[in-house]
Structure 1
Amino acid sequence: MNEFYYTPNPHVVHELHTWNFDLLNNTLTFTTDNGVFSKRTVDFGSKTLVESVNFDKIPDGNVLDLGCGYGPMAIALAKHHSDRTFEMVDVNNLALELAVKNAEQNHVSNVKIHNSNVYENVTDKFAAIITNPPVRAGKDVVDGMISGAVDHLLPNGTLTVVLQKKQGAPSAKKLMQSLFGNCEIIKKNKGYYILESVFNG
């Protein structure tokens, strides 16, 4: 059974839920379903990441939400930063359908939403990449999401990752340090680490 949220077509009994959530001073409406990550609320890691990203230090350009799920991070940020375009990708087609719906019902048009298994269908370079990686998909997937960012960032672009300490944040920090030559913990909250590297390309 492909019921995991990090598979292309999870087999689920559909059970749509629509609910509101406050992010970045906006009340957003999200519709979710079985077969997607954190279907009942915006998870604490995503909320913490969204509130931690400092757009004042990000160069001009678009932003990639890698593994966007039903879209809470990119939609919240796109609503707040209407001058940028947010590309949203995920391997889960059900999640992407919901992301399209959620962008529409929150009147967010500065997004591009499409399927990609990690960076497979990502061709552009970005001012920032944000990700709440699917830890349950395994360390190889998480490491691939981090290491692939090197080829998809503009000079001085940032990679911002949220991980729990117990789910690999320390090893991810080492990997980011080795790839980028820098990695800062920009926030720690309830065991969640927000890690950020700058691409000095």
Structure 2
Amino acid sequence: MNEYYYTPNPDVVHELHTWNYELLGNDLTFTTDNGVFSKRTVDYGSSVLVKNINFDKIPSGNILDLGCGYGPMAIALAKKYPNRNFEMVDVNNLALSLAKKNSEQNDVKNVKIHNSNIYENVQDKFAAILTNPPVRAGKKVVDGMISGAINHLLPNGTLTVVLQKKQGAPSAKKLMKSLFGNCEIIRKDKGYYILESVFRG
């Protein structure tokens, strides 16, 4: 059964859930379904990432949520930073339809949502790329999400990644350092590492 959240069309029995979650000072409403990642609550790693990203040091420009799922990271940030535009991409069409619904029900208009297998349909360059990569999709996918960022960042743009230590944070840090020449652990929380590299361009 093709039910993994990192596949284009998960074969699932639909079971919609709608719930509230407070993030970045806003009370948000999310609708989720079977076949998406972390359907019962915002994943802890995602919430740690959005709480620790520093918009003061990100240059002007749009922000990409790579592998956005049903949209909690970009929607929370778009609600808090209405003067920024967010692009949200995922390979999972079910997740994207939920992301569209969630952006509407949270009255978030500064988002653009579309399908992309990693960077396949991503054209622009961004001030920041955020990702909570799908570890279960395998190291090749996670590494592709990290290494492809270098072609899609503006000068001084940032790549911010959340990974658990046991799910490959140390090797991701090594890869980011080798690609960008820098990688900082901006936060450690319950085994989650928030890793950030700056593209010196």
User: For the superposition of Structure 1 and Structure 2, which TM-score range results when normalised by the shorter chain?
Assistant: over 0.9
The residue that corresponds to 2:86 in the other structure is 86
Deviation of 1:19 after TM superposition, in Å, equals 0.1
Q: Which residue of structure 1 aligns with residue 34 of structure 2?
A: 34
Secondary structure of residue in 1 paired with 2:173? helix
Instruction: Report deviation, 1:182.
Output: 0.1
Counterpart in 2 of 1:178?
178
Quote the Cα distance in structure 2 between the aligned partners of 1:2 and 1:111.
29
* Cα offsets for 1:149-189 (capped at 9, x unmatched): 00000000000000000000000000000000000000000
Match of 2:45 in 1: 45
- Cα shift at 1:110: 0.1
In the alignment, the residues of structure 2 paired with residue 132 and residue 49 of structure 1 have an alpha-carbon distance, to the nearest angstrom, of: 8
Secondary structure of the residue aligned to 1:41 is coil
Equivalent pairs counted in the alignment come to: 201
Shift of 1:145: 0.1
Unaligned runs of 5+ in 1: none
* Aligned counterpart, 1:164: 164
Which 4+ residue blocks in structure 1 deviate beyond 4 angstroms?
Answer: none
- Separation in structure 1 between the aligned mates of residue 55 and residue 180 of structure 2, nearest angstrom: 19
| Residue of structure 1 equivalent to 2:136 | 136
Distance between the aligned counterparts of 1:97 and 1:78, measured in 2? 18
Amino acid at match of 1:160: T
The one-letter code matched in structure 2 to 1:88 is: M
Residue 101 of structure 1: aligned partner: 101
Q: Which residue of structure 1 aligns with residue 113 of structure 2?
A: 113
Provide TM-score, normalisation by structure 2: 1.00
Distance (Å, rounded) in 2 between the aligned partners of 1:162 and 1:9? 25
Partner of 2:112: helix, strand, or coil? strand
1:190 matches 2:181: no
Give, in whole Å, the separation in 1 of the partners of 2:27 and 2:162: 23
CA offset digits 1:2-61 (Å, max 9, x no partner): 100000000000000000000000000000000000000001000000001000000000
Distance in 2 of aligned mates of 1:191 and 1:81: 28
Report the CA distance between 1:102 and its aligned residue. 0.1
Name the aligned partner's letter for residue 157 of structure 1: G
TM-score (norm 1): 1.00
Gaps of at least 5 residues in structure 2 are: none
In the TM superposition, residue 95 of structure 1 has moved relative to its aligned partner by: 0.1
Distance in 1 of aligned mates of 2:186 and 2:115: 29
Q: Kindly provide the CA deviation profile for residues 83-114 of structure 1, in whole angstroms up to 9, marking residues without a partner as x.
A: 11000000000000000000000000000000
Aligned mates of 2:44, 2:9 — CA distance in 1:
25
Q: Distance in 1 between matches of 2:162 and 2:13?
A: 29
Q: Per-residue deviation at 1:198?
A: 0.1
Deviations 1:116-167 (A, max 9, x none): 0000000000000000000000000000000000000000000000000000
